[in-house]
Amino acid sequence: MGGWDVLLSPVILFFVLGALAAFARSDLSIPESIAKGMSLYLMASIGLKGGVQVAAAGLSVEILLAAVAGLALSFLIPVPAFLLLRRAGRLDPINAAAVAAHYGSVSVVTFVTGVETLSAAGMPPAGYMVAVMALMETPAIIIGLLLARRTSGAALPTRGGLFHETVLNGSVVLLLGSFLIGFITGKEGFAPVAPVFDTAFRGVLCLFLLDMGLIAARRLQDARALTARTAALAVLLPICNGTIGVLTGALIGLDTGSAAALGILAGSASYIAVPAVIRLTLPQADPGLYLGMSLAVTFPFNITLGIPLYTMLAERIVGS
């Protein structure tokens, strides 16, 4: 299957169906608890499968390199993003910092969809990329808060602080936890649960992306906070970051699939873990803006155009 044929796979078509239904203002909707349940399932699945693969392939220096690269990307990407959002986007410091944190972090669903399409195209990324993704989820938040300089912390008491909200964030814990479980049990222990966590994966992803299409398109319609400038940046940022990600992957010697996956991670923007922490730590920032950009523009862009783009780039640079 070539790079763009993937747009005609059921997974992507269900996403498009959801978006079209929302644009046509159909009342189609998936209960929120079902959507939450499916997202937990997808995270547990991808974590388990990554762990099983690493258990089979064994630990290596490559893994360490990829982890360091992922961390570095998550720490560094917010800085140029912040400057771009301040200048080109004309955002105030608080909002620019909040948005920058989202683009430094990652979108699990974008990654999952990317892995599916890369695997279908015969270039499955290495199993450890799941762990890299989990590592990339939260560092960007810290940089974002530093960029915002003075947080609103004084106004409302927050106990426990950032550690709990970031490192112990539910999705990080589930991803790393399942990864570890997969690593411990290995292929043999995974076999009896494979019908649920492997065979059913793609079908559930279809239904989840149907919901994501609905949510993204509805948010785009309700998004008063988005201007032409910020919407354009929400397309420009993933392209730049994704390219940086692929280049970094090529530089540290990853295979084509893994380099593309690193590009997908760098190019994606968080809309689950980061918004919750930012709402808590930078409550003055506008959720309509950061969710509008990451969820309503960047996410659909990545699912439809970004993933094939980063894949093509990786094929050109690393070779296919």
Partner 1 sequence: MTETVERRRIEVLVDAPLVKSVVRASEEAGIRGYTLLPTLGGAGAGGRWSDDQVSGAQSKVIFLTVTTEAKCDVLTDRLAPILESHGLVLFISPVDVVRAEKF
Does residue 72 touch its own copies according to CB under 8 A?
Answer: no
Minimal CA–CA distance to 50: which of 137, 146, 174, 158?
Answer: 174
Residues 176-195 that bind its own copies (CB under 8 A): 177-178, 180-181, 184-185, 189-190, 192-195
Residue 267 and residue 74 in contact, taking contact as beta carbons nearer than 8 Å: no
Based on CB atoms, which residue is closest to partner 1, 116 or 211? 211
Rg (CA), the chain: 18
Does residue 96 touch partner 1 according to CB under 8 A?
Answer: no
Residues 211-270 that bind its own copies (CB under 8 A): none
Min. distance of Cβ 290 from partner 1 in angstroms? Answer: 8
Quick one: what does residue 278 bind among partner 1, Na ion, its own copies, none, with the CB cut-off 5 to 8 Å set by partner type? partner 1
From residue 11, alpha-carbon distances to 25, 44, 62, 109, 114 in Å are: 22, 19, 31, 12, 11
Does residue 161 touch partner 1 according to CB under 8 A?
Answer: no
Residues 252-271 that bind Na ion (CB under 5 A): 266
Beta-carbon contacts of 183 under 8 Å, excluding residues fewer than 6 positions away, are: 51, 52, 54, 55
Does residue 31 touch partner 1 according to CB under 8 A?
Answer: yes
Rounded Cα gap, residues 25 and 45, in angstroms: 33
Q: Which two tokens stand for residue 247?
A: 């280049």
Residues 33-52 that bind its own copies (CB under 8 A): 33-34, 36-37, 40-41, 44, 48
Does residue 280 touch its own copies according to CB under 8 A?
Answer: no
| φ, ψ dihedrals at 26, nearest 5° | -70, 155
Binder among 9, 152, 185, 227 for partner 1 (CB under 8 A):
152
Q: 273-281 and 139-147 are packed helices; what angle lies between their axes, rounded to 10 degrees? A: 30
Does residue 220 touch partner 1 according to CB under 8 A?
Answer: no
Does residue 206 touch its own copies according to CB under 8 A?
Answer: yes
Give contact residues for Na ion (rule: CB under 5 A): 266
